[in-house]
């Protein structure tokens, strides 16, 4: 990989090439200056790096990911500040594609692949829940299909971006540290309680994974509306269209699993990611 011009220097690392960019910053392939180990450098935009709240949320990703021992979590090696004051995180360099990219490319994934992805995400996020961490932003962009020929479908499923995650072990499981009423997440995949700005627990992630699996099964998220307010209102008030009305060939057991995960009341959903993973496993071998 040939070096390309980069805007900053990160102490201890040589930035080689930009590999991705989003609203909060950019990701670079890099190598450790002494060991030569290849890494990914996630660099927060300089203007956001002047916000104490943005930097705290950014470094939350490193703290959250480092505390979860699971192969579906990206390893974080280091964090710090670049020479212009921008915050950065050094992490495992992955090769593959996001689930969002895979969804955008025909054909639609098979139901067996849906089960594989859903079970892997549930196991990884369940491991985070066991560490009192709620992800709060599960969506196709935050699921990465890392190439691994030794695994089914040639992919290891990685859950990205624990920057939205909240953890506070001193206040008990699944509590989070933020101002009440704060709206954090991606509207297409947010639970009703998250849409209301209420406190959330592990069952909010169950709902988000239900949204993701619904999209894989049906070709679109549960609610597609014309604006933010309409989407949030739909999550809170509107019933989900049964998946088999959109895709008549879907197994009824999968439809029931999705409708449980997308229940408005947390008490009516699967009560843990483990329970959701077990239901996916119980579906048996699903054909395309």
DSSP state of 252: H
CA distances from residue 71 to 67, 125, 239 in whole angstroms, order as listed: 12, 11, 35
Q: Does residue 205 carry a catalytic annotation?
A: no
Angstrom distance (rounded) from CA 201 to CA 134: 6
Q: Out of 78, 83, 137, 141, which one is annotated catalytic?
A: 137
CA distances from residue 111 to 114, 179, 259, 270, 279 in whole angstroms, order as listed: 5, 39, 16, 20, 14
| Torsion sign (Cα): 33, 35, 40, 44 | negative
Are residues 150 and 65 in contact, defined by beta-carbon separation less than 8 angstroms?
no
Q: Which residues are catalytic?
A: 137
């Amino acid at each position: 990989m040939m070096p390309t011009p980069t805007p900053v220097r990160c102490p201890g690392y040589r930035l080689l090439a930009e590999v991705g960019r989003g609203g909060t910053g950019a990701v670079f392939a890099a190598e450790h200056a002494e060991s030569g180990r290849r890494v990914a450098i996630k660099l927060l935009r300089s203007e956001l790096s002047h916000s104490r709240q943005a930097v705290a949320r950014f470094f939350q990703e490193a703290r959250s990911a480092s505390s979860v021992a699971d192969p579906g979590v990206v390893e974080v090696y280091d964090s710090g500040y670049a020479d212009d004051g921008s915050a950065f995180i050094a992490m495992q360099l992955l090769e593959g594609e996001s689930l969002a990219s895979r969804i955008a490319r025909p054909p639609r994934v098979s139901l067996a692949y849906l089960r594989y992805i859903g079970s892997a995400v549930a196991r990884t996020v369940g491991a985070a829940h066991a560490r009192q961490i709620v992800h709060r932003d599960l969506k196709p962009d935050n699921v990465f299909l890392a190439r691994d020929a030794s695994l089914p479908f040639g992919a290891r499923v990685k859950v990205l971006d624990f920057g939205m995650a909240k953890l506070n072990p001193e206040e008990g499981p699944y509590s989070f540290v933020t101002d009440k009423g704060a709206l954090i997440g991606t509207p297409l995949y947010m639970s009703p309680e998250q849409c209301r700005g209420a406190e959330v627990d592990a069952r909010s992630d169950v709902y988000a994974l239900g949204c993701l699996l619904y999209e894989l099964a049906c070709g679109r998220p549960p609610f597609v509306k014309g604006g933010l307010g309409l989407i949030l209102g739909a999550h809170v008030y509107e019933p989900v269209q049964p998946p088999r009305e959109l895709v008549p060939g879907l197994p009824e057991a999968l439809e029931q699993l999705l409708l449980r995960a997308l229940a408005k009341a947390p008490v009516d959903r699967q009560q843990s990611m483990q329970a959701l993973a077990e239901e996916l496993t119980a579906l048996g071998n699903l054909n395309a």
